[in-house]
Amino acid sequence: MKFKKTLNKIPKLVLAGFMALTTVFTNGIPIVKAATYNLTEEYQSDWYFFGSDKYGDGSILYLNGKQAFCIEPDKVSAIGPNEPIKPSDIGLTDKQMNEMALITWYGYRSKSKPTKVDYMMTQNLVWKYLGSGQRMGNSTYPNESSMQSWFNNVMNKVNHFYDKPSFHNKEITIDMVETASINDTNKVLSGLRIKSVTGGKASISGNTLKVTPDGTLDTMTITFDRGMSTEQTKDTIVVRQGQNQAVSYLTGKDPYGSIVRIKVNRTGSLKITKQDEDGNYVSNTSFKLSKNADMSSPIGTYTTGSDGTVTVNDLEQGTWYIQETSVPSHLVLDTTIRTVTINPNETATYTAKNNWVKGKIKLRKFDSKTNEQVGGATYAIYNQQGQ
């Protein structure tokens, strides 16, 4: 950047020619080379440069019509065509370029409608980061001390850019039928954006992640980034003309990444109850379960306990088939194949009732003295319960 008096010394016609193209002659044949990046400068009369003293008007730099930033302070900018160089050519590392890109993101491009103040203060912070005392001030920010709060706010975001939410890289189990709220105790989530989600829906509300699985996958995967705009995530470039000031968009890919995996509990349970025809609970009765209607490939055989029940857990949702395979000898085996429906995070019930095995009793009444059969005798017959 330079101040207006220097710019006015350059004839406008010559300046326009440099902005348009550079012509090189080889063997008498003109070769026209278009300027790769054209630098322009827009002066702002309500801002001024200052170091030890005030001087000139502040300015905004543009490369090919888009805002750019000075990354080589205390040098004069070269209006017109500038050629790409490597950051290392001016002693800057990739780490420094990435951090200055974060400064321009939080100071300028992250704003929905960035202002002139945002630009000027971002440029000032870039200079401060580079160790330069060069600044641009106005009536609101006339000196370094007045700028410090603005600088601190942006640098706090830059310094915490890579912070992760408390659930980063963890696996959290939720039930299929619920919308789960997962709180980020690190209070990072509010500054993130959901980049991708598979197996359901997810949304951010403050520092709470809300997740609803759709049942298509056993595990949902949710990734996050910082939501940088396409303008910010373009490949960064640095340009310079000769030994004049280097200028850059200070852009770069969003380097942030975070992930959480949501294990979806898509299973339910089945409680099997066995009773006889009188409603009594029956132990030692076995059943088999299968996903197939012909009972092929059963997953196992399950036997009722002393309370006449058995519970089978971790069954996939959907239709299951159940068949009785054995009963105590006093009951009639029922091999009918029946269906039950399993819902996630619920316990389905199935009750089987069996009839007693029927038989005949032939009773005779004899006189104990004569051993002759006696007619007209009456008997009462009771079951095991005395009924």
What CATH number corresponds to the domain at position 289? 2.60.40.10
> What are the helix and strand counts (H, E) for the chain?
5, 23
How far apart are alpha carbons 322 and 340 in whole angstroms?
7
Supply 160's token pair. 């915490």
Angle ∠(270,276,280) on CA atoms, nearest 5: 85
What average pLDDT does range 292-315 have in this prediction?
Answer: 96
The average confidence (pLDDT) of the chain is: 88
Concatenated DSSP letters for 300-369? Answer: EEEE--TTSEEEEEEEESEEEEEEEEE--TTB------EEEEE-TT-EEEEEEEEPBPP-------B-TT
How far apart are alpha carbons 34 and 64 in whole angstroms?
12
What pTM was computed for the model? 0.68
What average pLDDT does range 192-208 have in this prediction?
Answer: 97
Residue 387 has what pLDDT?
62
CB 321 within 8 A of CB 339: yes
What is the tens place of the pLDDT at every residue in 29-75? Answer: 333 344 489 999 999 999 999 976 778 899 999 999 999 999 999 89
Considering only residues 77 and 156, tell me which one the structure prediction assigns the higher pLDDT.
156
- CB neighbours of 48 closer than 8 A, spacing ≥ 6? 54, 55, 56, 57, 58, 136, 137, 138
How far apart are alpha carbons 154 and 144 in whole angstroms?
15
Query: Does residue 294 lie within any of the structural domains?
Result: yes
Residue 385 has what pLDDT?
63
pLDDT band at 20 (very low <50, low <70, confident <90, very high): very low
Considering only residues 369 and 357, tell me which one the structure prediction assigns the higher pLDDT.
357
Supply 12's token pair. 């406008």
For the CA atoms of the chain, what is the radius of gyration?
Answer: 41
Residue 18 has what pLDDT?
34
The pLDDT of residue 6 is above 50: no
Query: Does residue 214 lie within any of the structural domains?
Result: no
Percent of the chain with pLDDT over 70: 89
Query: Does residue 220 lie within any of the structural domains?
Result: no
Query: Does residue 296 lie within any of the structural domains?
Result: yes
Q: How many domains does the chain have?
A: 2
Beta strand pairing status for 135-137 and 54-63?
unpaired
- CB neighbours of 316 closer than 8 A, spacing ≥ 6? 266, 267, 291, 342
Lowest mean pLDDT among 246-260, 316-330, 348-362: 348-362
Residue 384 has what pLDDT?
66
pLDDT band at 181 (very low <50, low <70, confident <90, very high): very high
Lowest mean pLDDT among 50-64, 184-198, 319-333: 50-64
Last residue of a domain, one of 102, 122, 141: 141
What is the tens place of the pLDDT at every residue in 80-138? Answer: 999 999 999 999 999 999 999 999 999 999 999 999 999 999 999 999 999 999 999 99
CB 168 within 8 A of CB 191: no
Percent of the chain with pLDDT over 90: 72
Last residue of a domain, one of 122, 141, 160: 141
Query: Does residue 199 lie within any of the structural domains?
Result: no
What average pLDDT does range 307-311 have in this prediction?
Answer: 96
Query: Does residue 154 lie within any of the structural domains?
Result: no
How far apart are alpha carbons 288 and 323 in whole angstroms?
6
What average pLDDT does range 208-235 have in this prediction?
Answer: 93
Residue 349 has what pLDDT?
96
Considering only residues 317 and 145, tell me which one the structure prediction assigns the higher pLDDT.
145
341: domain range? Answer: 267-354
Query: Does residue 203 lie within any of the structural domains?
Result: no
Query: Does residue 238 lie within any of the structural domains?
Result: no
